[in-house]
């Protein structure tokens, strides 16, 4: 009963104050209002569980106040106090949404009982609401899991089916190139055109190959090859790869690398991919003339790698979602919604963490922390599943 937030509304000062005193003795300290208008202005500022409301008041009467309360604060319960034998008012009150009514003169114990009942109702409904939200969240998580599972299956299938024809294209182009290099072909007309086109085919195959491997890398967990990784070099390579895009938008890329960082034991190619993902995002978020900073420093025996942009920032409501699969604010076809999701999976797999800070209109920074020596968790999916199940048990146990 102590936690009940109660508002007592009655224009008769003596009556109201007496009631308030008695309630206070019972550990419920009510707020008081001497008119409907005052009651509403208190409700504006402070959330109330229960309003005990006199019907007959000068100015705004109880029924009108009740209307306002139910419209603006549907979860606040109202107990009506009607005049002697004015059952009509009480009935109308209940029709409007009051919890119940009591006729004056009231018995204090009676009022106390009603307050308790109303509060029980509030608690029940809050619990129901929590349950609904929890179920909704779980359903969403399950949907995500299913979507990922089917994406994984699809990805593996696609990658395999495409790798085979890709291999045929690759061998054919390679063979033609071999022939072109034979002595008998030295005088072939327009030989350079053929060579140029064949090189383009091979480059195309390479690109497609990278994509299928990435898809498989997403679906599979065991393609990590740990090696010495020089973050400074990896950053340089990543910058080179996206440099043209940055230059097109007149974005300056600054590297602030602490000189004393040695190589770390990790997965260089995945880390480079992470850097490319983050830099590409940064370029997309940053307007022309902006600046992107890559920072590398040693922190508490780990290394911290930060990609910071001066872009448009991420709205608060999106910050929680950006690492979710398929979440994208880019228009369809431009973003897969997988970039940051894959990025986080890679970082977590490598025993690190990734955090984001963003200020609307000022920019965003992604900070990665990596251990100097990485030991791969063998079965990340299993870990995730166990964590998920643990959380589930905890949550359902607490409600």
Partner 1 sequence: MIKIPTKVLLVDDEQDFVEMLSLRLNEMGEKITVAYSGREGLDTLEKTDIDVVILDIKMPGMDGIETLREIKKKFPLVEVIMLTGHGSTETAVEGMKLGAFDYLMKPADFADLSTKLEAARKRKDEQEERIRKAEVKLLLRRSGDI
User: Does 43 participate in binding partner 1 (rule CB under 8 A)?
Assistant: no
User: Does 14 participate in binding partner 1 (rule CB under 8 A)?
Assistant: no
Residue 188 or 360: the one with the smaller Cβ distance to partner 1 is: 188
User: Does 160 participate in binding partner 1 (rule CB under 8 A)?
Assistant: yes
**Min. distance of Cβ 358 from partner 1 in angstroms?**
35
User: Does 154 participate in binding partner 1 (rule CB under 8 A)?
Assistant: no
Residue from 235, 272, 279 nearest 257 by CA: 235
Considering only residues 29, 150, 153, 172, which one is a binding residue for partner 1 as defined by CB under 8 A?
Answer: 172
Residues 202-221 contacting partner 1, CB under 8 A: 205, 209, 212-213, 215-217, 219-220
User: Does 153 participate in binding partner 1 (rule CB under 8 A)?
Assistant: no
Token couple for 3: 């936690």
Residue 14 or 222: the one with the smaller Cβ distance to partner 1 is: 222
Considering only residues 159, 340, 346, 368, which one is a binding residue for partner 1 as defined by CB under 8 A?
Answer: 159
**Min. distance of Cβ 150 from partner 1 in angstroms?**
17
Token couple for 281: 């995002």
**Min. distance of Cβ 305 from partner 1 in angstroms?**
27
User: Does 379 participate in binding partner 1 (rule CB under 8 A)?
Assistant: no
Residues in contact with partner 1, counted by CB under 8 A, come to a total of: 27
Residues 222-241: x/- map of binding to partner 1 (CB under 8 A)? Answer: xx------------------
**Min. distance of Cβ 388 from partner 1 in angstroms?**
25
**Min. distance of Cβ 179 from partner 1 in angstroms?**
7
User: Does 349 participate in binding partner 1 (rule CB under 8 A)?
Assistant: no
Interface residues toward partner 1, by CB under 8 A: 156, 159-160, 163-164, 166-172, 174-175, 178-179, 205, 209, 212-213, 215-217, 219-220, 222-223
């Amino acid at each position: 009963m102590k936690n009940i937030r109660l508002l007592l509304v009655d224009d008769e000062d003596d009556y109201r104050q007496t009631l308030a005193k008695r309630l206070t003795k019972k550990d419920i300290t009510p707020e008081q209002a001497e008119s409907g208008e005052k009651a509403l202005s208190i409700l504006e500022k402070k959330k109330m569980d229960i309003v005990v409301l006199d019907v007959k008041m000068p100015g705004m009467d109880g029924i009108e106040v009740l209307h306002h309360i139910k419209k603006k604060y549907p979860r606040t319960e109202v107990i009506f106090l009607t005049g002697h034998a004015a059952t009509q008012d009480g009935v109308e009150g209940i029709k409007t949404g009051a919890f119940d009514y009591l006729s004056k003169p009231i018995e204090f114990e009676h009022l106390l009982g009603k307050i308790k009942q109303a509060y029980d109702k509030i608690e029940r409904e809050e619990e129901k609401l929590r349950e609904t939200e929890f179920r909704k969240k779980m359903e969403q998580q399950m949907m995500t899991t299913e979507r990922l599972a089917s994406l994984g299956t699809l990805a593996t299938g696609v990658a395999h089916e495409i790798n085979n024809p890709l291999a045929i294209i690759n061998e054919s182009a390679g063979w033609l190139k071999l022939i072109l290099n034979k002595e008998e072909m030295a005088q072939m007309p327009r030989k350079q055109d053929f060579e140029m086109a064949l090189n383009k085919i091979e480059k195309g195959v390479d690109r497609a190959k990278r994509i299928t491997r990435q898809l498989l890398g997403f679906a599979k967990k065991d393609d990590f090859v740990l090696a010495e990784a020089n973050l400074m070099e990896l950053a340089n390579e990543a910058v080179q790869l996206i440099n043209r895009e940055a230059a097109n938008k007149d974005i300056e890329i600054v590297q602030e690398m602490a000189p004393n960082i040695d190589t770390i034991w990790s997965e260089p190619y995945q880390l480079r991919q992470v850097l490319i993902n983050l830099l590409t995002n940064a370029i997309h978020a940053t307007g022309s003339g902006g600046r992107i900073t890559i920072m590398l420093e040693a922190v508490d025996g780990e290394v911290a790698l930060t990609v910071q942009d001066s872009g448009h920032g991420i709205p608060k409501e999106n910050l929680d979602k950006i690492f979710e699969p398929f979440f994208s604010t880019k228009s369809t076809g431009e973003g897969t919604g997988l970039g940051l999701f894959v990025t986080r999976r890679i970082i977590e797999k490598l025993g690190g963490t990734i955090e984001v800070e963003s200020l609307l209109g000022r920019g965003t920074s992604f900070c990665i922390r990596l251990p100097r020596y990485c030991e791969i968790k063998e079965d990340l999916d299993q870990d995730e599943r166990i964590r998920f199940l643990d959380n589930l048990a905890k949550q359902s146990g607490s409600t």
